[in-house]
């Protein structure tokens, strides 16, 4: 790609210079190109395969996502080792306990937060679902005749899909986080909780700026950032509505806390006359001392910073003696399926503070990227909560999109046992007959065969014979050869096709380990003991290892 | 979509009571009860990383430098002169100032004006508007935190939210006495103030405005100041 781009194919909208500030032109939202597919709006039931295959075949995506996540994961480990050393695990325990305790008494703490926030002059609203949350926000915008909205990063507004609704009512809405801004003008969507544009490169970013703002093409990150800064400053100066999310609600002070690095969060919550925060009910924590713990864990888990550059604690709108700040501060508390997850069996999942550490640690996320999860929340935590938000039958691939290696659990600053719950969801899928009949029959037969020595041996024999035959047919195992180091089982037919198309398996040896042991070792060392062992049947103990 | 579709008041809004009923159902609570066990205790031995006995000035300077801020240690007598030099270096023409809590900075504004630099009266205009076309914001801080190299900037009658945010360069004056050991100490200090008297905005600032959104390349100054100078006054 060269720096001298030919003019973009779509006609560039007229750039809006500062001098045009007074010109009251009705805002027309630039629409996406025809045939555009929004990455986070998918048809249900969702199948992961198409996007996962596409992602694994995309070397650039692999490179960017792997590099960024690997680096962040390493940084997280390094800084926690430096700061907390052996106390790291206890800190995770404490942070997890704080969230769990608050969730166990969520009615109490949320009530306390609301009373304190109202005493500080905050207007609190209650949204049962996405539609109600958006409609409350539109009403606030309408009542205040808002024409231009600047928006900070918020995953909840991705959940409710707020932006098109504000635009449709005639309130121009601009994402101000650099990554989100570029995604917005490029009609794309975030693929990582913390670094939304992880899947996109500088060329695509620069092209998007050229197309949307009519600026000359330049793909230096510094230049892209400066162009966006200048453009968005013009927006802050004119905006009458600011929208943010919320990282924490502090119950006994009524505060909302947001953690950002760029400063757009402070602008969006300070410059416009009206501030509206979209916050999930699970964000509440008891007091400021708990905020200390959560803040100490959040940024370090996320990017390895001691704190995000700006940790902004907002306690009510502008006070009478203060010089600036919003005249009105609204908080929309959002349920949108959270009370379903709040039941005892799944409550722990709501501890999540959206740090993204589990995404960074996950070998599956690194291969398939965020959009393959087909929902707002991706990675291990997304695989867990998306099926609960949207229905297990709608997202039955997600609980399977994990190797259960446990890296997510080790990385989680609030100790959510993600692998445990993924297994639980898989169990629920089999129990709820969401898993297909052939699979269910297979699991039944497998489980039954493991319970009895005869069927276990029979199964083992059948498996060995089948795979050896397959290896012989494909020529990787020579006739009479017991085991071949060069022999890998590839592209087997039938029920193992899916398995072997993605990974190779060594050819099984002619005899199992136990047969070999009995024959070569035990008898020769102590024939009597071997006899006794055989008579007692102890030699038939089930192996702990999986069959393949 | 028809813009008027949103104007009609549709279904009645969920009330606080209805909202809480769903939460209580999930929790299996008949009514909202006070927790039967206290909230987890934040043990100092576990959570604290920095103690009052540590060399706080040194730790603060180290950590603030590590996150990309430019730190100098000076004595009070050099304050005005150092700020003047910094402003000359960045060729400032217009600045905004709020250093009311630092007695050693008396006369700062006059000395800046004597250099031919305009000191904009931000307080005369509501909101942040007067600050957009300035070259530097010069502020004191409400506290500093050694643990992370953080500065605490609150909004109040004498402090705009914008001075540490809007201008491209932020020059902050941190007195040795402002430096607290740990984040825990700042929130403990705030616990003494009733929440209804808290500032509407408390900004903990840990570095210049940053992004790594484009290919992970670090860029500073994306929305807030790209350069933050901290002058640590070691004798007050």
Report pLDDT digits (tens) over A307-326.
999 999 999 999 999 999 99
Nearest CA in chain A to B124: A323
Identity of the residue in B7, B26, B206 whose CB atom sits nearest the CB atom of A309: B206
Q: Please state the length of chain A.
A: 548
B130 within some domain? yes
SS3 A315: coil
pLDDT at A547: 40
For residue B20, is it within any domain?
A: no
- A183 and A324 assigned to the same domain: yes
Q: What is the reported pLDDT for A457? A: 85
Q: Which of A396-410, A511-525, B85-99, B222-236 has the lowest mean pLDDT?
A: A511-525
State whether A178 and A233 are in the same domain.
yes
A413 & A494 share domain:
no
Q: How many domains does chain A have?
A: 3
Residue A202's CATH number: 3.40.50.10420
All residues of chain A having their beta carbon less than 8 Å from the beta carbon of residue B221 are 225-226, 229
Question: pLDDT class for A431, splitting at 50, 70, 90?
Answer: confident
Domain membership flag for residue B90: yes
Q: Would B153 be classed as within a structural domain?
A: yes
Note whether A405 and A382 are same-domain residues.
Answer: yes
pLDDT at A528: 67
- Nearest Cβ partner for B223 among A224, A263, A333: A263
Report the pLDDT value the prediction gives residue A524, as an integer from 0 to 100.
55
Which of A179, A261, A290 minimises the CB distance to B39? A290
Whether A459 and A469 map to the same domain: the answer is yes
User: A187 and A259, same structural domain?
Assistant: yes
Average pLDDT over residues A319-343: 97
B108 domain-assigned:
yes
Query: Same domain, yes or no, for A97 and A220?
Result: yes
pLDDT score recorded for residue A531: 67
What's the confidence (pLDDT) of residue A487? 59
Q: Do A107 and B20 touch (CB under 8 A)?
A: yes
Is residue B179 included in any domain, yes or no? Answer: yes
CB atoms near residue B121 (< 10 Å): 11
Q: Do the chains contact at B209 and A104, CB–CB below 8 Å?
A: no
From the CB of residue B94, how many other CB atoms can be counted at a distance below 10 Å?
A: 15
- Measured distance CA(B24)–CA(B89) in Å, rounded: 61
Share of chain A above pLDDT 90, in %: 66
Residues whose CB falls within 8 Å of the CB of residue B50, separated by 6 or more in sequence, listed in order: B56, B59, B146, B147, B181, B182
Among the partner-chain residues B26, B28, B195, the one whose CB lies closest to the CB of A116 is B195
SS3 per-residue string spanning A247-298: CEEECCCCEEEEEECCCHHHHHHHCCCEEEEEEEHHHEECCHHHHHHHHHHH
Question: pLDDT at position A20, please?
Answer: 38
Structure confidence at residue A33 (pLDDT): 66
Domain with B147, as residue range(s), is 45-233
The answer on pLDDT for A538 being more than 90 is no
Asked if B128 is an interface residue toward chain A (Cβ–Cβ < 8 A), one would say yes
Statement to judge: residues A386 and A458 lie in one domain: no
Whether B27 maps to a domain, the answer reads: no
Verify whether the Cβ–Cβ distance B40 to A323 is below 8 Å.
no
User: How many domains, chain B?
Assistant: 1
A31 domain-assigned: no
Cα–Cα distance between B57 and B144 in angstroms, integer? 10
Segment among A14-18, A256-260, A333-337, B100-104 with least mean pLDDT: A14-18
Partner residue opposite B32 with nearest CB, options A108, A119, A262: A108
Q: Do A169 and B3 touch (CB under 8 A)?
A: yes
Contacts of residue A159, defined as CB under 8 A and 6 or more positions apart, other chains included, come to: A130, A334, A336, A376
Quick check: is A28 in a domain?
Answer: no
CB B109 within 8 A of CB B138: no
Q: Are residues A76 and A198 in the same domain?
A: no
Which of A204 and A475 is assigned the larger pLDDT?
A204
Answer yes or no: is pLDDT of A483 > 70.
no
Q: Which stretches does DSSP call E strand in B9-161? A: 70-74, 94-98, 118-119, 136-140, 143-145, 150-154
Same domain, A448 and A515: yes
In a domain, A69, yes or no: yes
Shortest Cα–Cα distance, A225 to chain B (Å): 6
Whether residues A323 and B123 touch (CB distance < 8 A) is answered with: yes
- Residues A74 and A188 both lie in one domain: no
Interchain contact, A205 vs B214, CB within 8 Å: yes
- Give a yes or no: residue A408 inside a domain: yes
Q: Per-residue pLDDT for chain B (236 aa), expressed as one digit of tens each?
A: 344 444 445 578 999 999 999 999 999 999 998 999 999 999 999 999 999 999 999 999 999 999 999 999 999 999 999 999 999 999 999 999 999 888 888 899 999 999 999 999 999 988 999 999 999 999 999 999 999 999 999 999 999 999 999 999 999 999 999 999 999 999 999 999 999 999 999 999 999 999 999 988 999 999 999 999 999 999 98
- Mark yes or no for CB contact A108/B221 under 8 Å: no
Q: Which domain holds residue A114?
A: 84-339
Is it the case that residue A225 has pLDDT exceeding 70?
A: yes
B189 vs A: CB within 8 A: no
What is the overall mean pLDDT for chain A? 87
CB contact under 8 A, B162 and A339: no
Residue A11 has pLDDT above 50, yes or no: no
CATH number of the domain residue B153 falls in: 3.40.50.10420
CB contact under 8 A, A107 and B23: yes
**Percent above pLDDT 70 for chain A:** 85
- Inside any domain, residue A496: yes
pLDDT of A360 reads 96
pLDDT of A12-62, one tens digit each?
Answer: 333 433 333 333 444 544 566 666 777 777 888 999 999 999 999 999 888
Judged against a pLDDT cut of 70, whether residue A252 lies above it is answered with: yes
Q: Check whether residue A237 and residue A120 sit in a common domain.
A: yes
Respond yes or no on whether the N-terminal peptide bond of residue A45 is cis (omega within 30° of 0): yes
Q: End of a domain among A435, A467, A492?
A: A435
pLDDT of A482 = 66
Four-residue CA torsion sign, A16, A18, A19, A25? positive
């Amino acid at each position: 790609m060269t720096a001298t781009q030919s003019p973009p194919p779509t006609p560039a909208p007229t750039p809006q210079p500062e001098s045009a500030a007074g010109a009251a032109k009705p805002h027309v939202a630039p629409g996406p190109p025809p045939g555009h597919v929004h990455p986070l709006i998918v048809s249900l039931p969702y199948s992961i395969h198409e996007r996962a295959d596409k992602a694994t075949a995309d070397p650039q995506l692999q490179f960017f996502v792997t590099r960024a996540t690997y680096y962040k994961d390493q940084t997280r480990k390094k800084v926690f080792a430096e700061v907390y050393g052996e106390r790291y695990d206890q800190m995770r325990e404490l942070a997890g306990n704080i969230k769990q305790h608050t969730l166990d008494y969520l009615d109490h703490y949320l009530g306390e937060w609301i009373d304190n926030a109202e005493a500080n002059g905050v207007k609190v609203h209650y949204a049962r679902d996405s539609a109600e949350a958006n409609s409350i926000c539109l009403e606030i915008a309408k009542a205040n005749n808002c024409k231009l909205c600047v928006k900070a990063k918020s995953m909840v507004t991705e959940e409710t899909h707020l932006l098109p609704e504000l635009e449709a009512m005639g309130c121009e809405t601009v994402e101000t986080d650099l990554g989100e801004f570029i995604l917005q003008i490029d009609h794309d969507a975030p693929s990582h909780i913390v670094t939304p544009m992880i899947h996109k490169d500088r060329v695509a970013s620069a092209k998007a700026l050229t197309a949307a703002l009519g600026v000359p093409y330049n793909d230096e990150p510094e230049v892209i950032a400066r162009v966006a800064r200048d453009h968005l400053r013009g927006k802050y100066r004119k905006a009458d509505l600011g929208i943010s999310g919320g990282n924490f609600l502090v119950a006994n002070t009524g505060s909302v806390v947001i953690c950002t690095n760029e400063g757009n969060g402070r602008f969006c919550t300070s410059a416009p006359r009206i501030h509206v925060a979209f916050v999930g009910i699970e964000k509440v924590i008891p007091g400021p001392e708990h905020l200390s713990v959560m803040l100490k864990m959040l940024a370090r888990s996320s990017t390895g910073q001691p704190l995000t550059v700006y940790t902004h604690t907002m306690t009510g709108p502008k006070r009478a003696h203060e010089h600036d700040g919003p005249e009105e501060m609204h908080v929309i508390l959002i349920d949108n399926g959270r009370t379903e997850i709040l039941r005892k069996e799944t409550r722990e999942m709501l501890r999540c503070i959206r740090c993204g550490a589990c995404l960074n640690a996950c070998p599956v996320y690194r291969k398939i990227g965020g959009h393959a999860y087909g929902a707002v929340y991706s990675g291990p935590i997304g695989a867990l909560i998306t099926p609960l938000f949207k229905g297990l039958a709608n997202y039955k691939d997600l609980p399977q999109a994990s190797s259960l290696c446990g890296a997510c659990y080790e990385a989680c600053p609030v100790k959510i046992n993600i692998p445990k719950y993924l297994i639980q969801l898989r169990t629920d899928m089999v129990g709820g007959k969401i898993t297909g009949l052939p699979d269910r029959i297979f699991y039944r037969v497998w489980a039954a065969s493991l319970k009895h020595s005869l069927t276990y041996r029979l199964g083992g024999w059948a498996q060995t014979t089948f795979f050896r035959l397959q290896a012989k047919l494909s020529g990787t195992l020579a006739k009479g050869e017991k085991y071949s180091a060069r022999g890998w089982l590839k592209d087997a037919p039938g029920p193992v096709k899916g398995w072997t198309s993605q990974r190779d398996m060594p050819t099984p040896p002619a005899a199992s380990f136990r047969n070999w042991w009995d024959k070569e070792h035990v008898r020769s060392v102590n024939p009597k003991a071997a006899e006794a062992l055989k008579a007692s049947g102890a030699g038939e103990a089930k192996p702990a290892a999986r069959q393949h | 979509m028809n813009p008027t579709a949103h104007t009609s008041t549709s279904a009645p809004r969920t009330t606080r009571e209805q909202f809480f009923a769903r939460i209580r159902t999930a929790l299996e609570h008949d009514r909202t009860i006070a927790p039967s066990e206290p909230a987890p205790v934040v043990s100092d031995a576990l959570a604290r990383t920095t103690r009052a006995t540590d060399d706080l000035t040194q730790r603060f300077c180290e950590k603030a430098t590590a996150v990309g801020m430019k730190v100098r240690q000076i004595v009070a007598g050099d304050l005005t002169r150092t700020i003047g030099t910094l402003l000359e270096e960045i060729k400032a023409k217009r600045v905004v100032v709020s250093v009311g809590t630092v007695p050693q900075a008396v006369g700062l504004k006059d000395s800046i004006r004597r250099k031919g630099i305009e000191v904009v009266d931000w307080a005369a205009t509501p909101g942040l508007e007067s600050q957009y076309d300035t070259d530097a914001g010069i502020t004191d801080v409400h506290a500093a935190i050694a643990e992370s190299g953080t500065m605490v900037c609150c909004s109040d009658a004498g402090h705009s939210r914008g001075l540490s945010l809007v201008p491209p360069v932020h020059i902050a004056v941190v007195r040795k006495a402002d430096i607290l050991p740990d984040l825990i100490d700042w929130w403990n200090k705030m616990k003494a103030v009733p929440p209804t008297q808290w500032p509407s905005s408390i900004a903990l600032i840990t570095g210049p405005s940053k992004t790594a959104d484009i290919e992970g390349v670090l860029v500073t100054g994306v929305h807030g100041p790209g350069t933050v100078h901290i002058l640590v006054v070691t004798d007050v």
